[in-house]
A and B are shown apart, each in its own frame.
Chain A
Amino acid sequence: MSSSAASNQESFDQVSFADNPEPRCACLLLVDTSISMEGLKIAQLNAGLQTFRDELMSDDLAVKRVETAVVRFSPVEIVQPFTHPAQMNVAPLPADGSGTPMGKAIQTGIGLLQERRELYKQLGIPYYRPWLILLTDGEPTDDVRRAAAAIRAGEEKKQFAFFAIGVDTADMDLLARISVREPLRLKGHRFREFFLWLSNSMKTVSRSVPGDRLALPPPSGWAEL
């Protein structure tokens, strides 16, 4: 009996698992770094990004699956191309931009997402529906009509989910016109709570399996509802 148990153990030890790439969950942040964000706001946003990374790092699946990119405006600049939480550079962003070229930033972000999707397809990596998140405290200084049309088309084809978050004096009516989903206004400067919610949402998405109806955490901790 004991010898057969030992041999059983031995043969099960030989079972190995296929080494497949983990499915990826892309999260793209479009962050307003115009001069109006200067001071406490940008400091809290920077701390929030750090929290976001730390939270993802603490989750077994999210750390392998979530890929984050950051585009700031202005100037429109890819400050972080898509990467794993461990490689995410969270050096503080300066709030020194003149103008709020939101339209250009959104189009840059959608372009980055499309490139990423092509790469996943090419490499045969499974992926979840990517998220595109806009954080702004102002109103656009460029034409957002093309960006708005691209968001509508992308949402319709389920290519990504777009979320607009307004801070302070953000033009919520404009955000409502460009976003298919209702934009949310940040309660005070609760960037930390927002990024905690975002990391929890990413954890939920990155472990979802076919047939799941996503139960995202409620945004009540950070949004004015």
Chain B
Amino acid sequence: MTWSVARASVAGTAHQRKGGSCQDACQGGAWQRPDGEWVLALFAADGAGSANAAQAAAELACRHLCEQAQAWATNEAAPHAPLTPERLREWVEGLRERLLTQAADNNQSPRDLACTLLGVVCTASAVGYLQIGDGAIVARRAEVNGVVYWPDVGEYANETFFVTDADSLERLRVSVYTSLPQGLALVTDGLQRLALDYGTYQPHPGFFAPLFARLQAVSTEDIPAFEHELHGLLDSKAVNERTDDDKTLVLALWGG
């Protein structure tokens, strides 16, 4: 297993002030397929600010997609089932149904469980991406970085799209590529204006390059300390001056 992964999720100052908790969630996993190949999956979700069960929804979304990825990766009956856009789409369809069912069971409206979605699944031969709404996935290949999908927002700065929306499956963006990234990053919308350059539609190199360089130098046992530092960075004055929203950062590097 040669991916190193670090993540941090911090409540925005607006939520901290109101005594609320972070409505972002992220979860990842790595599993060995029956043929010995490793699969890495990373998911992040941002629960909508005014959704009653935003945090629970974001956590459920990440957990559900992780379960799907694990079931697929470790399925002895279909050890070579390929990673396809259709498969990723099915996972999101399943998630959407689960959220809607949960809302109905708890006498809540779908809006109460609104959250965005970011996801990456990486095998030794393919990488799949999925996204609904804002936030961004950054893929790093050699020295070249790119934003997989630009944050999907409405006309106004405070509008985006959620898994629970009626038309979310049309909004869902999925792709599978055979050229693998060496590094991956997921950022939720609290960080996107700090991490992405809206003039060039590129990741801001000054943000990602030092973080990837640090992760590269960190040994596996020092990952928790590194995550602690990441947490400090996301909760620093410099960051909080620019955003008061929840923010999540997931970094992954292929060690070769």
In the complex, residue of chain B having the shortest beta-carbon distance to the beta carbon of A208: B158
Instruction: Determine the residue in chain A with the shortest Cβ distance to B193.
Output: A20
Which of A20, A129, A205 has the most chain B CB atoms inside 10 A of its CB? A20
Interface check B176, CB cutoff 8 A: no
**A18 and B157: CB pair below 8 A?**
no
Whether A14 is near chain B, meaning CB under 8 Å from some CB there, is yes
Q: Are A211 and B207 in contact (CB under 8 A)?
A: no
Residue A124 at the B interface, CB < 8 A?
yes
Interface string of A65-79 (1 = CB under 8 A from B): 000000000000000
Q: Residues of A contacting B159 with CB < 8 Å? A: 210
Contact of A210 among B49, B193, B207, B210 (CB under 8 A): B49
B160–A210 contact, CB under 8 A?
yes
Interface assignment of B36: CB less than 8 Å from any CB of chain A:
no
How large, as a class, is the contact surface on chain B? 35 or more
Residues 239-253 of B at the A interface (beta carbon under 8 Å): 239, 241-242, 244-245
Task: Assess whether A129 is in contact with B156, with CB atoms less than 8 Å apart.
Answer: yes
Given A60-B241, A126-B153, A210-B133, A18-B197 contact (CB < 8 Å): yes
* Cβ A127 vs Cβ B229 within 8 A: no
Choice from B14, B158, B207, B214 contacting A17 with Cβ under 8 Å: B207
Complex Cα spacing A8 to B222, Å: 12
**Which residue from chain A places its CB closest to the CB of B14 in the assembled complex?**
A207
Q: Does B19 contact A (CB under 8 A)?
A: no
> Does A23 sit within 8 A of B, measured CB to CB?
yes
Taking residues whose C-beta sits less than 8 angstroms from the other chain, chain A's interface range is 20 to 34
Residue pair A15, B233 in contact (C-beta under 8 Å): yes
Across the interface, name the chain B residue whose C-beta is closest to A211. B48
What is the number of contacts between chain A and chain B, taking CB atoms within 8 Å?
98
On chain A, the residues within 8 Å of B50 by CB distance are: 211-213
> Which residues of A lie under 8 Å from residue B48 when comparing CB positions?
210-212
A40 within 8 A of B: no
With A207-B14, A212-B49 already in contact, the answer to whether A128 and B214 are too (CB < 8 A) is no
Residue of B51, B116, B157, B207 near A126 (CB, 8 A) is: B157
- Contact flag A15-B207 (CB < 8 Å), given A208-B158, A211-B48, A211-B50: yes
Cα separation A178 to B204 with both chains bound (whole Å): 47
Chain B residue numbers with a CB within 8 Å of A209 are: 49, 158, 189-190, 245
Give the complex CA separation of A12 and B217 in angstroms.
13
A128 touches B158 (CB 8 A): yes
Tell me which residues across on chain A come within 8 A of B229, comparing CB atoms.
8, 12
Contact of B214 among A11, A129, A212 (CB under 8 A): A11
Task: Assess whether B114 is interfacial by the CB under 8 Å rule.
Answer: yes
The residue in chain A whose Cβ has the minimal distance to the Cβ of B48 is A211
Offer 17 A-B interface pairs, CB within 8 angstroms, sorted by A.
A15-B233, A17-B194, A17-B195, A18-B193, A20-B193, A60-B241, A126-B153, A128-B158, A209-B49, A209-B245, A210-B46, A210-B134, A210-B189, A211-B46, A211-B114, A212-B50, A212-B158
> Which 10 A-B pairs rank lowest in CB-CB distance, beginning with the nearest?
A211-B48, A16-B206, A213-B50, A210-B160, A18-B204, A23-B157, A212-B49, A14-B210, A126-B157, A17-B194
- The residues of B with any CB-CB pair to A shorter than 8 Å are 14, 46-51, 54, 114, 116, 133-134, 153-160, 162, 189-190, 193-199, 204, 206-207, 210-211, 213-214, 226, 229, 233, 238-239, 241-242, 244-245
A residues apposed to B, CB below 8 Å: 8, 11-12, 14-18, 20-21, 23, 60-61, 124, 126-129, 158, 205, 207-213
